[in-house]
Amino acid sequence: MYRMLYGFFDELAAGNPDLVSVIIAGNHDSAGRIEAPAPLLARANVVAIGSLHMKDGVPKLDDHLVPVPRGDKVAGYILAIPYLRPADLPDPTGKKTEEGKSSLVEGIRELYTKAVSQAREKIGDLPLVVTGHLHVRGAELSESLSERRIVLGGEHAVPAGVFGDRADYVALGHLHRAQQFPPKVSGCNKKNAKRKKHKAGLATGCVRYAGSPMPLSVVERQYDHGVSLVEINKKNHVSVHHISLERPVPFLRVPEKGHLGIEEIEAALAALDLDEKAEQERWPFVQVALKISGPQPGFRARLDEIFAAFPVRDVAPDILWPGQERAGKKAVALKRLDEHRPADLFQQAFFEHYGVEPDEQQIACFHQLVEEAGT
């Protein structure tokens, strides 16, 4: 992965020698690994920020404020703030302040307020882009929660207002779907066009997630992945353009809607009419949607056998169990756990999962397991 990343920046610098790139660490990243090659990356105009560098209680501008040149002048700045770890905040516990506010949220707000204020003192009214890696309240997570929740002080989301009102654009990372605040705002120019010397307040549409450039889980297959082109003119008027990225290989679901029995999967894959002579790196990713009717202990091995006959790369199947079809159709009387016999619970769970009652052999195996567990 890192070889691919560094190769990308090398090609980028070769074709655009005046371009400045900024990398910030996220919650998945090792701060040390991000910053270790910083001296070498700097030769390609790449600034790598893995952790927060503090001085006198505020981020060190020499490390975090990155000039963006245009010719022999500076066109604007990027205030590069990475993922904030508990040690970066004055009180990450989330306790309530005297005013009844979260100490975590107020700590993040204070950090950004001080950093942006200090940056403004240095750069005046030049365009300022601020970065962050966190979950902003109201943003849409993926259905599979493929974005790991960032929990500090018992909270996993902060309000969009923590970034203050003196930045021109806030570029966020962490969530994989491109989105901005509020979602109905199209672009960032409605309020920014009227701003004077950063006193009118940051347009909420300028707090934005660009999203990931590719699917990072199967539920993201339908996302419009891409990159964001953000333009800030001399009057600090901001406009954002989402540029969709074409996937190098297809990502398919079989069938497109609904689920198939395992005996139908082979014919459905054959109907895709795939190129059997294609190189493996050109094979599509395929998720099969499988409907299980009753216990089928060998179905995964059978799926592997089917996939082996086709030029595809399989991902985790979407399995519909019999119990899922009946979920929510009838109320269940709640009982205390000590009011149930283990065998009754086993039979109930078996039926809810497979849609059939366990046979005598399966019940006997369960009793054997219970006996072994008690010895």
Say how many C-beta atoms besides its own lie within 10 A of residue 289's C-beta.
18
H or E stretch at 263: helix 262-270
Distance CA 295, CA 98 (A): 58
**How high is the pLDDT of residue 310?**
96
| Predicted local confidence at residue 149, as pLDDT | 62
| CA distances, 342 to each of 55, 204, 334, 364 (Å) | 61, 55, 16, 13
Residue 261 confidence class, pLDDT cut points 50, 70, 90: very high
Superfamily of segment(s) 52-244: Metallo-dependent phosphatases (3.60.21.10)
Distance, in Å, from the CA atom of 154 to the CA atom of 302, rounded to the nearest integer, reads 44
Asked if pLDDT for residue 277 goes beyond 70, the answer is yes
Higher pLDDT, 82 or 71: 82
Q: In the predicted model, is pLDDT for residue 56 greater than 60? A: yes
Task: Give residue 201's pLDDT.
Answer: 43
Question: Whole-model pTM above 0.85?
Answer: no
The dihedral region occupied by 187, where left means phi > 0, alpha psi between -120 and 50, and beta the remainder, is left
Per-residue pLDDT at 295: 76
7-16, 66-75, 188-197, 276-285: least confident range: 188-197
Q: Among the residues of 141-235, which ranges form H helices?
A: 189-192
Whether the predicted pLDDT of 192 surpasses 60: no
Mean per-residue pLDDT, 305-316? 94
Average pLDDT over residues 287-292: 91
The whole-chain average pLDDT of the chain stands at: 83
Task: Concatenate the DSSP letters of all residues of 98-145 into one string.
Answer: TTS-BHHHHHHHHHHHHHHHHHHHHHTTS-EEEEEESPBTTPPPPTT-
pLDDT digits (tens, 9 = 90+) for 212-238: 998 888 888 889 999 999 998 888 888
Q: How confident is the model at residue 269 (pLDDT cuts 50, 70, 90)?
A: very high
pLDDT of residue 187: 40
Q: Identify the pLDDT of residue 101.
A: 80
CA 336 to chain centre: 39
In the chain, the percentage of residues whose pLDDT exceeds 90 is 47
Top pLDDT among 358 and 327 is at: 358
- pLDDT category, 375, cuts 50, 70, 90? low
Q: Please tell me whether residue 32 adopts helix, strand or coil conformation.
A: helix
Domain ranges of the chain: 52-244, 251-320, 324-373
Q: How far is CA 45 from the centre of its chain?
A: 27
pLDDT at 334: 47
* Mean pLDDT of all residues in 152-181: 83
Whether 239 contacts 187, CB under 8 Å: yes
Residue 87 has pLDDT above 50, yes or no: yes
Give the integer Cα–Cα distance in Å for 319 and 289. 6
Q: Residue 328 pLDDT > 50, yes or no?
A: no
Q: What is the pLDDT of residue 186?
A: 33
Taking only the tens place, the pLDDT of each residue in 101-154 is 888 888 899 999 999 999 999 999 999 999 999 988 888 877 655 666 665 555
The letter for the amino acid at 328 is G
